Every structure is written in C-alpha cells, then in structure tokens.
Structure 1
C-alpha cells in the first residue's frame, strides 16, 4: 500500500496556478538570480560601511540596510513577474513602458541633476531612475510588435517598434546617458535580429549607429574625454581605472581577505560601478571566475530556453531580455578591467542601487515568464 500524500506534496492532477508555476519555472535561472542577489548583499557588507563613512553618513550601515531593502523588493518583483503568462507579460510590459516614458519626459523638466546628468526622480529618501524600467519593457513590447508581421504582414509593425525605440533613445541621450543608450540599442538590435531583421534595416542600423557615435563624440565633452582617455591614458585623468587595476592586481588568486581591501576607501563609486574591483581585491581571482561563470551560465541557459520557444514574440523578447542582462554585466566588468572606455553602469544584482536592482529583477522576471516550461524540457542527449 502506497503512503498517503503529505501536505507538502503536489498531486499530478493539481492544476492550480501555483502548482503550474512551480512545475514550469526555470529553477536554474531563478536560483542564479538569488545567488547574485546574495553576492550583492555580501559585497554591500564589504564596501558599504567605507562608502558611508567617506560620504559622511552618521550610520556606517546606511548602504547595507538600503541594499537589503532593495534586495527584498527585487525578490518580490522577480517572483511576481515570473508568475505571468506570455500574454500578461506583454500587457504589463506595455504599461511599464508608457509610464516610464512619461516619467523620463517629466525628469527632463522637474528631475534633479547629479554628476552632470538628469536621470532621477526623488521619492522621499529614495531616488528612482525610470530608464532602468523602460529598457526591459521596450524589449518585450518590441518583440511582440515585430512578431505581428507574421499574422498581419501589411501592418507597419517594424516602423512602430523602431519609433518606440527612437523616442526612448532620444530621451536617454537628452539626460544624457550614453552607456544605457548603447546597451538598449544592442538589446533592441538583437531582438530585431531574432525576429528576422531585413538586410536594409541592418545596414540602416549600422550606418545610423556610426553616425550617431561620431555626433556624440563631437557634441558631448564627457564622451570625448572618456574615449580619448582610453586611447591616450597618459594624457588624461584615469584615476578610477588605475585604482581599479591596482585593486585587481593586489587581489591575486584568493584576495587580501574580507574587509581588508583598500580601493573602496579611494574610489567614489566603489560600491556601485566598481564593485567588481572590490570583490576581486578582497576575494581574489577565484571569486571573479565564480561570478563570471554565474552570469555566463545564466545567459546561455536563457538563450537555450528562448531558442526552444515556438512563439516568435516570446522567442525574440526573451532573447533580447537575456541579452540586456548579459551585456550590462559584460560592460561593467569590461570597464573594471580597462577593456573599454569607462561608463557609469552597474553590475546586475551586485552593485548598490535600488533602480538598478529593480530594473534587473524586472528584466529577469519577464524573461522567466516568457520561457516558462522550457527550462525543464530536454531534447535528446544534450538537451
């Protein structure tokens, strides 16, 4: 006689939404996201107190407490978004896109300026950066619009998607935020490519990108300075990059030990843009390899799940979202190791920052919703 089922077991006939979610969610991707959130909390403990003291906060645990709040909010958003089906993911993304777009317009008039850019809205003691939310929303909305070409070939779907992208790009450049503009453009082009990018569009993107890059170099002094400092480091101030390189070199294989790093006391953005350097200095090359493996495996697993989708909208949108996540991590790490000109971009889930944490949770949450059921599916010996 078989044992009676316990309260924690789910019957195969149970078709409730919670059981369906539990059966279809990609637990590998979900686990990877929570692993990175945990790494972010650990690094906040490492870099937060020094940053708080350097800036002048009375409470040295200021950044640690706030990062814990951001992490909790990100966990809720990640799980909540993953509960959606493909149709609701598109509807929620559309609402987020238009609300974020309206907030970005509002910011240009009423937002406050920090570090030469106008990107944030003050909400009490917190600040919100709507551009972090508009990116994943645009990718999902664009994926859906481009997929409509199959059902309604005569509709101007590609033109509408491009107009949404162009408006968003214009608002980002007006802030100005060149780094996020590059990231959004790359993810949008990948989404477009997966949807079946015509060669004439590819040529237009290439030409337009080259022309815009030259224009930004000519018009924006900070862009020109960063590019010039990358190619001629001896003639420009490269203090942050030099300090980051020193920290990475000092870390060696196993690091100098938790809390023993020096770079966090001298770099103003050590707890945000240069958190990777702090990690390598204190925990060494081994920790860096583990972190790189986590990002790489998540992106590869996400692409594999997206490739299995039959629906064109879900396939293109999921690929774009995983690209957005992976490229942001790649750009941040590349800046830390001086492979590309410096950009103000956070390391997803690891750097301090509420808007970045929420934006990343939204990105992966929507991606998890779109690939539900694919992570537990295999095709042949090699999956």
Structure 2
C-alpha cells in the first residue's frame, strides 16, 4: 500500500493511482483489493482472540485501530469508495464480534473527524494530493447538485439502457448503449444486463446476490468457532454490499464510485480477490463440517464405549450376586473368590 501510495501508475494515459505494475511480469494489480481481504482476516482474528476478555479503549486502539487507520489512510486519497466500504465493514464486523458499542461510537466519531480534516487539507493544498482527491470530492458535490459533468453522461446512458430494456430486454448481445457507455463491461455492467435481459434479468441478478447473502448467513450460523463466524461475515458481506453499491450507481441512487459488480464485471485483481475471498469462506465451512463430523464420530465412539462399560459392570454385578448366593448355600466357598 505504501508503494502504491507513492508510485501508482498510468494505464492508457489515464490516472490509475490505485494500481501498481508488478515488476518482471508487467501486469497491473490493485493493492486495495488484497488489503481488504487481509484486513478482514486481521479483524476477525483480533476479535476471536479477545473473546471473553476485559478490553480497554487504549489497548484496543493501539493494537487494533491504529493498523486499520493506517491502511485506510493509504487507500483514501486514491479510492474513497473502497476506503469507506472497508471502514463500514470493519465497524459492522466489530459490532457483530461484541466490541463495546461506546468504544465503537468513539472510533466512528474519530473517523468522521479525520475524514473532515483530510478534506480540508486537500482543499487547502490541492497539489499535495495529486491523485483522485478532487475527483471523488467533486463526484459527491455534483451528485447533490444539478451541475452537469462527465459523470452525468455515464448516468444518462445507463438510464437509457435500463429504460430501453423494458420487462424482457432486447436479447443477449443486442445492447446498443454498450457502444456509447464508458466502462460498460465493468462499472456499468448492470445497466447493460437490464438492457439485454430486461427487468426480469436485473431482478434475477439481484436475487442471485441475495441467495449468496443467505448462504453466507447460514454458513456463519453453522460455524462452531467465533473466528470462523467472523471470517465468513467479514469476507462475504463486502461482496454483497459492493454489488448493491454498483447497482445503486447504475440507477442513480448513489454517486459514481467505480465499484465493480462482483463475479460479473470484467476485471483483473478485483475478480481474483473476490474468488480468493469466496475460496476462504468455502475453506472455513469445509473445516467446520469436518470438525462437526469428528465431534459426532467421537460422541458415537464414547456412547458405544460407555455402553460396553455399562454392560460389563452389569455382568460383573450379576456374577457377584450369583456368587454371594452360592456362598450361602455352600459355606466352604471362598469369600476371596467371590470378590475376584
């Protein structure tokens, strides 16, 4: 992230400060996508480690929140939407993990204050942050006003595509607006889906994401360990929220953010990181199933062993009672033999 912050890169002459070019390979890589996964694993691990312990704000701030804020500070200048998504997901995860609400409220307030200071600094010294600060600030400002800009062109083309699609769409591959809409295969792919498959296709995509969200909830509920639960929530929920943000941008409910539609939009590092997150979730659920099966087998073995022991004790007791009866009938029978 430090390397990306100071180096960045340029793709086709455009500012691409979120990406770096991997040496000797020549491919570009968005480091914030990997940072989100690593940070969510770190948050889940920390919350699992402090489970049942008495924590203080000072200790948790130094050990936990300082690393989080450092990562967010490195992402924020070039990618506000990703930084906001990560911060909201971290807050959601620590809330689910049982972090004290009063501490969380203080952290949220500090985050808002630091964001305000950063905006004021960027406004006062525009040359100090030459990346995308002006871009995301202007997008928020223009979204709340009627001032025309290049984002309006994208939104208008997206709305035309959605309106043209109607109920059933124009048919697969018959989109017209994909020839005019910038980023039609990534940021605004949802508008093209609705144009080609109509309202039915758009609702179908939304339904698939909701089903995936439901599966994440079920897997988190079945997980036996707190770490497993938090890991599924921390890695799975951002995928769903990112999808909702992408759809919200396409229908102008949200300002243009540049968030892709997970598992659908074309892309490199984004699709790789999404697949890695899903793979980790599958690994957690598989491990939890194996642990559950081992516990069931152990319980079955213990029950069988206890049954054998009970049966053996019962036979010995019956032998002892039979021996005592024989000793009364035959006084010469050895008491020691009965005990044995």
In the superposition, the TM-score normalised over structure 1's length comes to 0.66
- Alignment counterpart, residue 74 of structure 2, candidates 167, 171, 188: 171
Separation in 2, partners of 1:375, 1:231:
49
1:336 aligns with 2:237: no
Pairwise CA distance, 1:179: 0.9
- Cα 1:293–1:373 shift into 2, 3 Å: farther
Separation in 2, partners of 1:154, 1:255:
55
1:122 aligns with 2:21: yes
Pairwise CA distance, 1:120: 1.4
Using the TM superposition, name which of 157-166 and 249-258 deviates more.
157-166
Structure 1, unaligned runs of 5 or more: 1-103, 378-383
Deviation digits for residues 48-80 of structure 1 (CA, Å, limit 9, x no counterpart): xxxxxxxxxxxxxxxxxxxxxxxxxxxxxxxxx
Separation in 1, partners of 2:113, 2:135:
18
Aligned to 1:315: 229
In the superposition, the TM-score normalised over structure 2's length comes to 0.74
- Structural RMSD (CA): 2.4
- Alignment counterpart, residue 226 of structure 1, candidates 139, 164, 174: 139
1:108 aligns with 2:8: no
- Cα 1:242–1:214 shift into 2, 3 Å: farther
Pairwise CA distance, 1:159: 3.9
Aligned to 2:97: 195
Matches within 5 A, 1:360-379: 360-372=274-286
Separation in 2, partners of 1:116, 1:187:
27
Aligned to 1:96: none
Matches within 5 A, 1:264-343: 264-343=178-257
How many residue pairs align between the two structures? 273
Higher radius of gyration, 1 or 2? 2
- Cα 1:215–1:251 shift into 2, 3 Å: farther
Pairwise CA distance, 1:125: 4.8
Matches within 5 A, 1:55-204: 104-114=1-11, 115-123=14-22, 124-150=25-51, 153=54, 156=59, 159-174=62-77, 176-204=78-106
1:210 aligns with 2:124: no
Using the TM superposition, name which of 178-187 and 197-206 deviates more.
197-206
Separation in 2, partners of 1:127, 1:375:
37
- Cα 1:216–1:346 shift into 2, 3 Å: farther
Larger RCO (CA under 8 A, 6+ residues apart): 1
